Amino acid sequence: MDQSLVSIIVPCYNQAHYLEESLQSVLNQTFTNWECIIVNDGSPDKTEEIANNWIKRDKRFHYVFKKNGGLSSARNYGINKSHGIYILPLDADDVIDASFLSKLVPELETNESLGIVSCYSKFFFKNLKNIVNELKPTGSTSINLLYVNQLIATSLYRKKCWEEVGGYDENMKTGFEDWEFWIAITKRGWNYKIIPDFLFYYRKSKKSMLVDTINNHFETSKHYIIKKHRELYIEDFDNCMIVMFYHLKTYRSSEVKIKNSLEYKIGKLITKPFKIFQNIVSKS
């Protein structure tokens, strides 16, 4: 087995319409010693048809099917089938720059203390020309990950790191599974490094797992992470309290601002008669 083999894991569920663009970015890599495992996570769309076309196109592409189990389960399944010593998760709707592996792999090859290598990212809407945001993460250790996820899900890491932590936590079905995964790795002493180049492109959409997590599961997912790695937050207790009370203050300020807004006051006046009517009905 070639020591530099990279296994690219592409889980796909209801994203067949984006899969072609994602796989093309894999094929465009200037670093050529890779295998790409497309994991059909029980998707009801044309994922299998598209994947089979790519298998015929290049023998480095492989296809596996599994019963739907969520993103963590799909990634773990693909990694279990992989042969590389380095792993790169790539969501089926995202894109990597042609030089992604060429620039990131040497970092792991030459620095044994590094477990993870990442990069700057650009967020795009509909097409790569329409960039709507940029992300420039920082840090290098677990302390930098406690309150903000500095690492994109599509970061390159050693397979041995995945083995050490037991893979992605399959209990985390509502998002932030990659955040927890990075904390689990770095708290064991592994460092991460950020390459200051825009090499990853994240597709921004109105409906996505990340949007759903932030809107509906942020508190529960973060609570799960804190409980699972409580020793880190206890050790960093003072900062933990500062962050938590900052969020409480921010939430309280937003709540007060909403209640003082003209729209809120008008809405309250409009609904007041209905509340009075409900009280009368309930007492009768």
Domain total of the chain? 2
Question: Half-sphere exposure of 76 toward its Cβ, with a 13 Å CA cutoff?
Answer: 19
What is the structure's pLDDT at 247? 75
Mean pLDDT, each 10-residue run in order, the chain (284 residues): 82 95 98 98 96 97 97 98 98 97 98 97 95 96 96 98 98 94 98 98 74 71 95 95 83 66 60 59 58
SS (H, E, C) 20-35: HHHHHHHHCCCCCCEE
Bridge partner residues of 40 (DSSP): 12, 65
Backbone angles phi, psi at 254, to 5 degrees: -65, -40
What is the pTM for the complete model shown? 0.85
The answer to whether residue 219 is domain-embedded is no
What tens digit of pLDDT does each residue of 194-244 get? 999 999 999 997 555 555 656 677 889 999 999 999 999 999 999 999 988
Q: Which two tokens stand for residue 66?
A: 């599994």
Q: Are residues 84 and 142 in the same domain?
A: yes
What is the structure's pLDDT at 109? 97
Percent above pLDDT 90 for the chain: 77
The answer to whether residue 150 is domain-embedded is yes
Q: Are residues 89 and 143 in the same domain?
A: yes
Q: Are residues 247 and 188 in the same domain?
A: no
What is the rounded distance in angstroms from the CA atom of residue 35 to the CA atom of residue 3?
A: 13
Single-letter residue type at 21: E
CATH number, domain containing residue 201 = 3.90.550.10
Q: Are residues 184 and 243 in the same domain?
A: no
What is the structure's pLDDT at 1? 40
Q: Are residues 129 and 244 in the same domain?
A: no
Whole domain around residue 30: which residue ranges? 6-214
Burial of 145 (C-beta count, 10 Å sphere; 0-12/13-18/19+): buried
Q: Say which residue the tokens 């998002």 belong to.
A: 175
